[in-house]
Amino acid sequence: MTNPKAAGLHTGKRWVRIPDGTKVKFREDGREGIIDGLTELAVGPGRNPDSRTQYRINIGDPDWTLAIEDDLLVLTDADGVVQW
């Protein structure tokens, strides 16, 4: 006997987004900024692991940019605590 509801289930890892207010650094060019939310009106081919969003990054008032998780490093202090 099979369970028809189980056919559509996925057992992949659950994605946990980086919280708003977290300080981040761009891997490629070293710019720093602060996570300022998510956008589903994403541009370009890159997406977060949820396959539909990109992070809004405040890189200095009033400038912001969009980025995906793989392009960012979360900044921590000397004790490894995430910076806010």
Q: Are 64 and 36 in contact (CB under 8 A)?
A: yes
What backbone phi and psi angles, to 5 degrees, belong to 68? -105, 160
**Residue-level pLDDT at 6:** 53
Residue 33 has pLDDT above 90, yes or no: yes
Question: Which whole number is the average pLDDT over 60-72?
Answer: 90
What backbone phi and psi angles, to 5 degrees, belong to 49? -60, -15
How far is it, in rounded angstroms, from Cα 21 to Cα 68?
A: 16
User: pTM for this structure?
Assistant: 0.74
Cα separations (Å) of 73 from 3, 4, 29, 35?
42, 41, 11, 11
Cβ neighbours of 81 (radius 10 Å): 8
